[in-house]
């Protein structure tokens, strides 16, 4: 990322990175018309190391629908990869219980990352119908960075912003995720392993943005408090 968009990467708590991410999200323009629901692809690494965060995401996923409800609603498509080149994508879902059921059907299985397939799938969906954002949650990257950047550039041309939430501090993942975010106009943020509130705030913030843009994000911040509330205060600054 350029210096003006780079997130903090020192040894401080990742809560500062969460705040930096939310502040950057506040500066991201929204183009969704009010006549349709927001559409968000929610992609997770379901390899063996992801089991604790997968369980946590399953527990809090309804918050994304709640965050978007007052701004026209949200459709979410769940994507995951795991095992020996296994990749799955759900239909577009408009109810939290349907997303929860789909997530409950997936167990984490060891394997290599398939971030490229996530980006390729998102491209295919965006070429069929508008996709407002892709959210990816993972902890590592084991692919060719240049290939991922090519796909990210194509997503950027379609105005699909990618928001990458990195658990842990794997340097290869950090490099790739920051490049993907820069090329799509999205953002990359690390969060603490096991921090349900940080993940909740991040997912809720992007869901609100996908559904209704910056005004929806501000409203979400007032109702939620915490990191999201601090973001809404940023919106009031010149």
**Is the predicted pLDDT of residue 213 greater than 90, yes or no?**
no
Q: Is residue 138 part of a domain?
A: yes
Q: What is the predicted pLDDT for the residue at 67?
A: 78
Tell me if 159 sits within 8 A of 131, measured CB to CB: no
Count up the domains in the chain and report the number.
1
Q: Is residue 9 part of a domain?
A: no
**Mean pLDDT of the 84-98 span:** 94
**Is the predicted pLDDT of residue 129 greater than 70, yes or no?**
yes
Q: What is the predicted pLDDT for the residue at 50?
A: 85
Residue 136: pLDDT band (50, 70, 90) is very high
Q: Is residue 159 part of a domain?
A: yes
SS3 readout for the chain: CCCCCCCCCCCCCCHHHHHHHHHHHHCCCCCCCCCCCEEEEEEEECCHHHHHHHHHHHHHCHHHHHHHHCCCCEEEEEEEEECCCEEEECCCECCHHHHHHHHHCCCCCCCCCCHHHHHHHHHHHHHHCCCCEEEEEECCCCCCHHHHHHHHHHHHHCCCEEEEEEECCCHHHHHHHHHHHHHHCCEEEEECCCCHHHHHHHHHHHHHHHHHHHHHHHHHHHHHCHHHHHHHHHHCCC
> Domain of 161: which CATH number?
3.40.50.410
Q: Is residue 10 part of a domain?
A: no
Residue 63: pLDDT band (50, 70, 90) is confident
Q: The whole model's pTM is what?
A: 0.81
Q: What is the pLDDT of residues 157-212, one digit of tens each?
A: 999 989 898 988 999 999 999 999 899 988 888 887 667 787 888 888 888 888 88
**Axis crossing angle, helix 171-184 with helix 145-157, rounded to the nearest 10:** 20
Q: Is residue 32 part of a domain?
A: no
Q: Is residue 76 part of a domain?
A: yes
Range of the domain at 117: 37-235
In angstroms, rounded to a whole number, what is the distance separating the alpha carbons of residues 15 and 88? 31
Q: Is residue 134 part of a domain?
A: yes
**Mean pLDDT of the 108-117 span:** 96
Q: Is residue 112 part of a domain?
A: yes
Residue 149: exposure state from Cβ atoms within 10 A (0-12, 13-18, ≥19): middle
In angstroms, rounded to a whole number, what is the distance separating the alpha carbons of residues 116 and 132? 19
């Amino acid at each position: 990322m350029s210096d003006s968009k780079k997130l903090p990467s020192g040894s401080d708590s990742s809560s500062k990175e969460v705040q930096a991410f939310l502040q950057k999200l506040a500066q991201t323009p929204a183009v969704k018309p009010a006549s349709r629901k927001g559409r968000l692809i929610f992609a997770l690494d379901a390899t063996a190391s992801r089991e604790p965060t997968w369980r946590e995401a399953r527990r809090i996923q309804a918050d994304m629908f709640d965050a978007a409800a007052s701004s026209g609603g949200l459709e979410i498509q769940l994507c995951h990869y795991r095992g020996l080149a296994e990749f799955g994508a759900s239909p577009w879902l408009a109810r939290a219980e349907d997303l929860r059921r789909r997530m409950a059907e997936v167990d984490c299985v060891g394997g290599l990352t398939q971030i490229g397939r996530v980006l390729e799938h998102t491209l295919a969906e965006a070429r069929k119908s508008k996709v407002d954002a892709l959210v990816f949650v993972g902890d590592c990257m084991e692919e060719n960075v240049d290939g991922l950047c090519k796909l990210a550039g194509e997503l950027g041309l379609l105005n699909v912003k990618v928001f990458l939430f990195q658990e842990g501090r794997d340097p290869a993942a950090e490099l790739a995720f920051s490049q993907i975010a820069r090329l799509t106009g999205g953002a990359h943020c690390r969060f603490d392993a096991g921090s349900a509130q940080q993940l909740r705030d991040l997912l809720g913030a992007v869901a609100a943005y996908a559904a209704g843009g910056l005004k929806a994000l501000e409203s979400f911040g007032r109702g939620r408090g915490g990191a999201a509330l601090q973001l809404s205060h940023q919106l009031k600054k010149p």
